[in-house]
A = this chain, B = another copy of it.
Amino acid sequence: MKLTRAGEYAIRCILYLSRQNVADTIRRHDVAGHMDIPMQFLSKIAQQLAKAGLIQITQGAKGGYRLIRSPEEITLLDVIEAVEGELVLNDCLLEHERCSRKGTCAVHQVWAKARGQLRDTLAGVTFAEL
Residues of A within 8 A of B (CB): 1-4, 7-8, 11, 15, 76, 84, 87-92, 106-107, 110, 113-114, 117-118, 121-122, 125, 129-130
Contacts and interface: CB of A to CB of B under 8 A. Distances in A.
A128 to B, nearest CB: 11
Contacts of A114: 118, 121-122
B84 A107 contact: no
Count chain B CB atoms within 10 A of each CB in A89, A121, A122 and give the residue with the most.
Answer: A121
Contact of A118 (B15, B84, B117): B117
A15 B105 CA distance: 11
Count chain B CB atoms within 10 A of each CB in A1, A15, A122, A129 and give the residue with the most.
Answer: A1
Number of copies: 2
A106 B19 CA distance: 13
Contacts of A7: 1, 90
Given A15-B107, A107-B130, A130-B107, A3 B122 contact: no
A68 B11 CA distance: 44
A78 to B, nearest CB: 13
A87 B114 CA distance: 13
